[in-house]
Amino acid sequence: MVDTSAVRRIIIVQVAVTLVIALAMLVIQDFTSAVSAFVGGAIGFLTSLIYAKKMLAPPGSEAKKIIRAHYSAEAYKLIFTILLFSLVFTQYKEVQALPLFTAYAATLAVYWVALIFV
């Protein structure tokens, strides 16, 4: 069974990291960099939220069901990641790639590091 409080904490940390990077971009660069960073981080934490919602397996599930839920959740996460990046690059013409991918990578780092400690 998935510890929902741990998942919630991971996503909250991802949101916090996103906000810190966006604020740093606002101070160091400009508003467009800050928005780009926020969008990149949002893709990271929204897809983590999608994974968490799809990964819920009933308590006491057998390993086969848990693995199936994991693969399904990962597929949803990948599909939504591709869709969200596609949406950003087609609709947000002023996007700045470096802040976008920096914040996205930071949310992924939070996710993977947190998995070690959870």
Express each pLDDT in 61-93 by its tens digit. Answer: 788 888 888 899 999 999 999 999 999 999 999
Express each pLDDT in 1-21 by its tens digit: 456 788 889 999 999 999 999
Model pLDDT, residue 1: 47
pLDDT band at 98 (very low <50, low <70, confident <90, very high): very high
What letter represents residue 3's amino acid? D
Closest by alpha carbon to 97, among 56, 55, 39?
39
Res 58: pLDDT: 67
Q: Which two tokens stand for residue 58?
A: 């009933």
pLDDT tens, residue by residue, 23-44: 999 999 999 999 999 999 999 9
Q: pTM of the prediction? A: 0.87
Q: 43: Cβ–Cβ under 8 A, 6 or more apart, which residues?
A: 81, 84, 85, 88, 104, 107
